[in-house]
Amino acid sequence: MPVGAVVVDAAGQVIGEGANAREGSGDPTAHAEIVALRAAARHTGAWRLPDCTLVVTLEPCVMCAGAIVAARVRTLVIGAWDPKAGACGSVWDLVRDSRANHWVEVIGALDEAGCGDVLREFFRERRG
């Protein structure tokens, strides 16, 4: 699935990158966001990423939203909403839930058409 993510630090430097790797790795947690957060944590040497921004092509799912909150990411930038499984503002809004121990600023749907087109084309080709 063509979903990508990058973690950017306060200086604007990319400190973590990720692409969806579930099929290739056989790891159900290898979503782009998780891969990017893990890379950023390795880069900084810390699991907390409070001054970082996560940029993703597709709105994160419930698992990834939980990881974003757990990592204390400051800002989430979303290319396109996920109306089926999104957990950051469309179906659910876990990253801004008042019951959580951390809240994330969300900037959504920056390139709804472009990101959506890439995903639609991917699934069109898979269906044959």
Contact (Cβ atoms closer than 8 angstroms) between residue 119 and residue 2: yes
Active site residue 125: no
What's the angle, vertex CA 60, arms to CA 54 and CA 66, rounded to 5?
85
Three-state SS for 33-98 is HHHHHHHHHHHHCCCCCCCCEEEEEECCCHHHHHHHHHCCCCEEEEEECCCCCCCECCCCEHHHCC
Catalytic residue among 23, 33, 112, 121: 33
Contact (Cβ atoms closer than 8 angstroms) between residue 101 and residue 118: no
Active-site amino acid positions: 33
